[in-house]
């Protein structure tokens, strides 16, 4: 499952990484040819702050955890 996010503050990055860390499935962020682990605070802070990123959730097995991530989605 894929969607886009835009994190505009360090607080949003922290909330996103906390939500991603609770998910029992793999989550990647992509921008161009660069992929980062969505559960890495430093990676997300460095690459995703103030930038639209594509989120790729692999083998989603927990729909409630997935919904927690979707609250960061942009249209």
* CATH code of the domain containing 14: 3.30.1340.10
Name the residue with higher pLDDT: 54 or 61: 54
- Look at residue 75 and tell me if it is in a domain: no
E-strand stretches of the chain: 2-6, 26-31, 34-37, 52-58
The predicted structure's pLDDT at residue 29: 95
Overall domain count for the chain: 1
pLDDT at residue 75 is higher than 80: no
The predicted structure's pLDDT at residue 58: 83
- Look at residue 26 and tell me if it is in a domain: yes
Instruction: Domain of residue 26: give its range.
Output: 2-70
- Look at residue 59 and tell me if it is in a domain: yes
pLDDT at residue 24 is higher than 90: no
């Amino acid at each position: 499952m894929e969607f886009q996010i835009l994190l505009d503050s360090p607080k949003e990055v922290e909330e996103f990484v906390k939500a991603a860390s609770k998910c029992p499935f793999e989550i990647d962020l992509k921008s161009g040819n660069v992929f980062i682990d969505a559960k890495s605070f430093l990676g997300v802070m460095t690459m995703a702050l103030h930038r639209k990123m594509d989120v790729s959730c692999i083998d989603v097995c927990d729909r409630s955890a997935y919904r927690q991530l979707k609250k960061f989605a942009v249209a």
